[in-house]
């Protein structure tokens, strides 16, 4: 889907305003990186705003699916498309987008399928304010709340899609319990997310990864392997439908793209220098991870 005609990522303010903004962002980044307890993703996304991203016209915030994509917007749209395809979304489905960011995926799904009103849930109010304005013509209801305690009734949804968001939720197992409650019997839980692989690495690498998980507020409880997560889902009564490891179409191509993208003067001006370094540097902190699209069904 082409991004709409609404404003895209925020342009850079005059340099005095930018210096002050970047000073405040530096403080936020340092606090996030070393905050002992993780799980405050709202702080991350308040700090990122609409300018700290690599997008062209969209406001997507994921790593993208790069099999055929050339631009960030295309790759992020493709990831939303792959997730819905694996979830077998069809016209008429009642769906929930959990951790909806600026609502780009919901907007894409609402164009692609004939759906009744999509619900899009987010803990970050500043993103919802932008999303409501950006997509006011669409059939999407943006709801403020946490995936840990969803403001929805039992058995409401044919499908719950979590596009690169469940790693943030303070306790992903509690999110699964909530998913079990709000999804209809026979309905689908679809997750696009990354999980650590069991590999030994040097202590210095571990420290870097720990800082990275602080920066992105990934709770330690969520940093568990896919096998454990699949076990949790099974114990709760979900039935496996499909699992696709799409890592080769995500991590490396995103890194290659990001390293080039940060050379663009518009991005170099717009994005905080520490984030430019993180996105453009040789390591992503996710080298020991796998990126999967996981689909399960409520029995």
Ligand X SMILES: C[S@@+](CC[C@H](N)C(=O)[O-])C[C@H]1O[C@@H](n2cnc3c(N)ncnc32)[C@H](O)[C@@H]1O
Told to check if 106 binds ligand X by CB under 6 A, we report no
8 Å CB contact between 42 and 147 = no
Residue closest to ligand X, measured at CB: 101
Q: Give the one residue of 50, 52, 53, 62 binding ligand X; rule: CB under 6 A.
A: 62
Termini Cα distance of the chain: 33
Interacting span for ligand X (CB under 6 A) from 100-108, 224-232, 249-257, 287-295: 100-108
Told to check if 163 binds ligand X by CB under 6 A, we report yes
Residue among 161, 67, 156, 147 nearest 112 (CA): 161
Q: Give the one residue of 29, 32, 140, 147 binding ligand X; rule: CB under 6 A.
A: 147
Q: Give the one residue of 77, 110, 127, 222 binding ligand X; rule: CB under 6 A.
A: 127
8 Å CB contact between 114 and 92 = yes
**Closest distance of CB 128 from ligand X, Å:** 9
* Interface pattern 39-58 for ligand X (x via CB under 6 A): --xx--x-------------
Told to check if 219 binds ligand X by CB under 6 A, we report no
Dihedral over Cα of 23, 26, 31, 32: its sign = positive
Please give the C-alpha separations between residue 95 and each of 56, 99, 149, 242, in angstroms, as whole numbers.
27, 13, 17, 19
Residues 23-42 close enough to bind ligand X by CB under 6 A: 41-42
Tell me whether residue 93 or residue 193 sits nearer to ligand X (CB atom): 193
Radius of gyration from C-alpha coordinates of the chain = 18
Furthest C-alpha separation in the chain: 57
Told to check if 214 binds ligand X by CB under 6 A, we report no
Told to check if 168 binds ligand X by CB under 6 A, we report yes
Strand, coil or helix: 248: helix
Which helix H or strand E contains 82, and what residues bound it? helix 72-86
Told to check if 124 binds ligand X by CB under 6 A, we report yes
Contact set with ligand X (CB under 6 A): 41-42, 45, 60-62, 99-101, 104-105, 121-124, 127, 146-148, 163-165, 168-169
């Amino acid at each position: 889907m082409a991004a709409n005609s609404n404003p895209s990522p925020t342009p850079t303010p005059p340099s005095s305003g930018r210096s002050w903004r970047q000073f405040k962002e530096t403080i936020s980044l340092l606090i996030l990186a070393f905050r002992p307890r993780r799980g405050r993703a709202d702080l991350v996304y308040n700090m990122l705003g609409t300018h700290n991203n690599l997008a062209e016209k969209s406001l997507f915030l994921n790593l993208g699916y790069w099999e055929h994509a050339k631009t960030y917007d295309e790759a992020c749209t493709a990831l939303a498309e792959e997730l819905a395809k694996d979830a077998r979304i069809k016209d008429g489905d009642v769906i929930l987008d959990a951790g909806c960011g600026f609502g780009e995926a919901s907007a894409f799904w609402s164009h692609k399928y004939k759906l009744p009103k999509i619900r899009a849930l987010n803990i970050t109010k500043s993103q919802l304010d932008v999303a409501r304005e950006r997509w006011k013509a669409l059939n999407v209801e943006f709801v403020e709340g946490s995936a840990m305690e969803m403001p929805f009734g039992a058995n409401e949804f044919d499908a719950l899609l979590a596009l690169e968001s469940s790693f943030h939720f303070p306790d992903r197992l509690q999110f699964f319990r909530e998913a079990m409650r709000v999804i209809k019997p026979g309905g689908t839980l679809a997750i696009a997310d990354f999980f650590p692989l069991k590999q030994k690495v040097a202590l210095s690498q571990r420290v870097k990864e720990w800082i990275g998980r602080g920066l992105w507020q990934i709770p330690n409880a969520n940093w568990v392997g896919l096998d454990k997560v699949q076990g949790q889902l099974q114990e709760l009564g979900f039935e496996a439908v499909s699992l696709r490891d799409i890592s080769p179409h995500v991590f490396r191509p995103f890194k290659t793209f990001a390293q080039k993208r940060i050379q663009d003067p518009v991005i170099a001006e717009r994005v905080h220098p520490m984030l430019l370094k993180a996105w453009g540097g040789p390591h992503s902190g996710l080298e020991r991870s796998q990126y999967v699209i996981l689909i399960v069904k409520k029995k």
